């Protein structure tokens, strides 16, 4: 048995961190077809049931090389039975899946195992779209004005006469979600039209598959997970006169591969504007979405480029299948980053949001106090390295029970930073070998030091890449 794991570890040490998952042709050549005939069992002299118990306890980063042992090992590594057992044993692992953009029109997914600090590159997303869905819009100028308010950098480049990103990049403006161990890429633009298509990446099978399309073409919509179902709200869609903001919502059930309608967001505060002129000029949009306390929390804004006005938000309750107005303190105090969008994450049941400061290299983390209906600063300074030419200079994620920030460091490398309490530093073996990034004073207190130290989980030079989105998946 030891020889098999020794072989897997040796190959892992020799492999490059940026190994492309889909290079199956070369891997097949390295499999031993004679092994199956000589040993019908996974591990000689052991029942397969016991072997499966052993494999389920091995770190998932080893699976990419272990599946090279034989065809039977590959089938086992790629079986749903193995991952069900990992869940039963409590040996699942949270990995970070990061979407970056290279150049003007290339989107690439990378997976990070935070414990081994190794990156892996996922297969490329499909480069084609449904021709029936990719009809060009009739009003390009109106479309640019709409997208300008949501995706500033892309529009500026387009107006300057460079490549039309909406034509060149099929997934421009797509939404990202993760449910039941799979990544989802939804909608976006293709040839200046909003798309209905949905693609799913199966982590076990290592493949992209097209699933049932949404009922409405959407770009820049927001996603959230409730009860193992994927909810999609808002965004913009193609109309006869150009792009229009959407109030509609729908939900996808992965177990049945079907979409169902959800009541549209009322945008109640947008309906009480004092004049018809303002109501026509200011368009309501969903600027964020977070699954919190078993409900969907959707902060909202009114916009008329270049102005954004926060108008609170609304909450969807799946039990009553209805929307209600968000508490005033929650909606009005929800921190906003560039272009009015809200960046938030739930960790251990607590809702956190990133509040950018006036400085380009700092920010705060706030937590929502439900009892007081207020946002409170819990981390006084976050070491983000903002960039004027970046659309998403920082992202938030929650895994291992900690808040993580993905940003670029001073060397322009993409870094994953973990917030750790100072009181836990000596007792946390998982970070004992990592060096601190910084520690700062909380601005509000002046005298007290920030109880949080930021530590590097992993970093990587991806070249001139821009952050787009991220998801955490536990399998």
In a shared domain, residues 209 and 337: yes
In a shared domain, residues 322 and 272: yes
**In a 3-state reduction of DSSP, which class is residue 143?**
helix
In a shared domain, residues 81 and 200: no
In a shared domain, residues 137 and 20: no
Cα–Cα distance, 208 to 184 (Å, whole number): 9
Cα–Cα distance, 207 to 136 (Å, whole number): 29
**Residue 267 pLDDT greater than 60, yes or no:** yes
Q: Which residues form the domain of 64? A: 2-89
Whether residue 54 lies inside any domain: the answer is: yes
In a shared domain, residues 52 and 159: no
The H helix count followed by the E strand count for the chain is 12, 30
pLDDT digits (tens, 9 = 90+) for 76-119: 999 999 999 999 999 999 999 999 998 777 899 999 999 999 99
In a shared domain, residues 54 and 181: no
Edge-first strand order for the sheet with 344-347 is: 344-347, 350-356, 363-369, 374-379
pLDDT recorded at residue 389: 54
Cα–Cα distance, 8 to 336 (Å, whole number): 46
pLDDT digits (tens, 9 = 90+) for 321-337: 999 999 999 998 898 76
Whether residue 453 lies inside any domain: the answer is: no
Q: What angle do CA 379, 384, 387 make, to 5 degrees?
A: 150
pLDDT digits (tens, 9 = 90+) for 129-167: 544 444 444 333 333 344 434 443 333 233 333 334 444
Cα–Cα distance, 417 to 436 (Å, whole number): 9
pLDDT recorded at residue 360: 56
Q: Considering 279, 314, 342, which residue would you say is the last residue of a domain? A: 342
**Residue 446 pLDDT greater than 70, yes or no:** no
Structure tokens at 17: 């961190």
Q: Considering 311, 342, 373, which residue would you say is the last residue of a domain? A: 342
In a shared domain, residues 141 and 281: yes
Q: Considering 342, 362, 377, which residue would you say is the last residue of a domain? A: 342
Whether residue 302 lies inside any domain: the answer is: yes
Query: pLDDT tier at 356 (50, 70, 90 boundaries)?
Result: confident
Classify residue 377 as left (phi > 0), alpha (psi -120 to 50) or beta: beta
Domains identified in the chain, total number: 2
pLDDT recorded at residue 411: 84
Mean pLDDT over residues 174-186, rounded? 95
In a shared domain, residues 74 and 148: no
Whether residue 389 lies inside any domain: the answer is: no
Cα–Cα distance, 372 to 354 (Å, whole number): 19
Q: Which contiguous run of DSSP H or E holds residue 323?
A: strand 322-325
Whether residue 85 lies inside any domain: the answer is: yes
| Global confidence as pTM | 0.81
Edge-first strand order for the sheet with 106-113 is: 118-121, 106-113, 94-102, 465-474
Q: How far is CA 62 from CA 43, 124, 305, in A?
A: 16, 22, 49
In a shared domain, residues 83 and 129: no
Whether residue 348 lies inside any domain: the answer is: no
Whether residue 59 lies inside any domain: the answer is: yes
Report long-range pairs for 138-144 (Cβ below 8 Å, ≥24 apart).
Answer: 138/240, 138/241, 138/242, 139/241, 139/242, 140/192, 142/241, 142/242, 142/243, 143/192, 143/242, 143/243
Residues paired with 414 in a beta bridge: 408, 460
């Amino acid at each position: 048995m030891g020889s098999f794991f020794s072989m897997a570890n040796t190959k892992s040490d020799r492999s490059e961190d940026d190994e492309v998952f889909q290079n199956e042709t070369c891997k097949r050549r390295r499999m031993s077809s004679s092994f199956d005939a000589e040993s019908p069992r996974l591990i000689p002299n052991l029942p397969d049931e016991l072997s499966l118990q052993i494999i389920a306890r091995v770190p998932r980063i080893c699976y990419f090389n272990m599946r090279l042992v034989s065809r039977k090992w590959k089938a086992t590594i790629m079986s749903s039975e193995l991952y069900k057992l990992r869940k039963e044993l409590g040996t699942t692992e949270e990995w970070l899946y990061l979407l970056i953009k290279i150049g003007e029109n290339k989107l690439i997914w990378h997976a990070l195992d935070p414990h081994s600090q190794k990156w892996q590159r996922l297969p490329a997303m499909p480069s084609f779209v449904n021709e029936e869905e990719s009809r060009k819009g009739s009003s390009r100028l109106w479309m640019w004005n709409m997208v300008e308010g949501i995706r500033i950098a892309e529009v500026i480049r387009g107006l300057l006469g460079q490549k039309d990103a909406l034509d060149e990049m099929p997934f421009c403006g797509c939404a990202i979600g993760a449910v039941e161990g799979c990544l989802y890429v939804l909608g976006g633009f293709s040839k200046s039209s909003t798309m209905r298509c949905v693609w799913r990446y199966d982590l076990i099978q290592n493949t992209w598959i097209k699933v049932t399309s949404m009922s409405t073409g959407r770009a820049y919509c927001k996603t959230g997970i409730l009860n193992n179902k994927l909810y999609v709200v808002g965004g913009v869609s193609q109309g006869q006169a150009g792009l229009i903001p959407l109030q509609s919502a729908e939900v996808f059930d992965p177990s049945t591969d079907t979409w169902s309608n959800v009541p549209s967001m009322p945008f109640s505060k947008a309906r009480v504007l004092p004049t018809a002129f303002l109501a026509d000029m200011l368009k309501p949009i969903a600027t964020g979405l977070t699954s919190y306390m078993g409900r969907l929390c959707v902060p909202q804004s009114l916009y008329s480029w270049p102005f954004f006005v926060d108008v609170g938000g609304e909450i969807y309750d799946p039990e009553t299948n209805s929307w209600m107005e968000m508490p005033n303190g929650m909606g009005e105090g929800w921190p906003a980053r560039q272009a009015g969008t809200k960046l938030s994450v739930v960790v251990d049941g607590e809702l956190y949001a990133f509040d950018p400061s006036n400085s380009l290299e700092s920010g705060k983390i706030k937590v929502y106090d439900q009892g007081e209906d207020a946002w409170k600063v819990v981390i006084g300074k976050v070491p983000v390295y903002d960039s004027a030419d970046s659309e998403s200079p920082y992202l938030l994620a929650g895994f291992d029970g900690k808040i993580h920030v993905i940003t670029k460091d001073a060397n322009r490398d993409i870094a994953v930073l973990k917030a750790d309490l100072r009181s836990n530093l000596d007792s946390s073996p998982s970070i004992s070998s990592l060096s601190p990034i910084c520690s700062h004073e909380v601005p509000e207190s002046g005298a007290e030091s920030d109880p949080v130290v930021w530590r590097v989980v992993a970093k990587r030079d991806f070249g001139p890449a821009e952050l787009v989105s991220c998801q955490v998946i536990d399998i």
